[in-house]
Each structure stands twice: as structure tokens, then as C-alpha cells.
Amino acid sequence: EVDPGSFKISLLAKSPANIDAGGDILDGVIYFASASRLYGYKIPVFDETSGLDNHISR
């Protein structure tokens, strides 16, 4: 997460595996690969039109 005032970055969640590739976002979920596995993380408070919503992370 990036603070818009200070541009400070905060960790939202730790990855269950090393991230080898990815970073694509679709419908509020960021997808990444580790070896041959694909992972997805529901981004809290994300809406593709406004950037904000009331989603809860999985």
C-alpha cells in the first residue's frame, strides 16, 4: 500500500512463496507466479474505477 501524502510503502501481506513473475491485477486480485504455481491475492479496498471499495482480503 502506498501512502498518497508521503509515498511511504506498507506491506499488506506476506507471500506464501517466492514471487518469480507477475503483478497483473484483474477484478481487484493481484496475480503472480512462483515456479509452476499461480497465486492470487484479493487487494483490500480496491475498485478498478475509483481505486477504493470495501472488499476484504482473502
Confidence (pLDDT) at 13:
83
Confidence (pLDDT) at 48:
54
DSSP string covering 5-58: TT--B------SS---EEEEEETTEEEEEETTEEEEEEPTT--TTTS-------
Confidence (pLDDT) at 34:
94
- What digits encode the pLDDT tens for the residues 11-56? 888 888 999 998 889 988 989 999 999 999 888 765 555 444 443 3
Confidence (pLDDT) at 58:
38
41: nearest Cα among 58, 24, 27? 58
Confidence (pLDDT) at 32:
93
Give how many domains the chain has, as a whole number: 1
Domain range for residue 2?
1-58
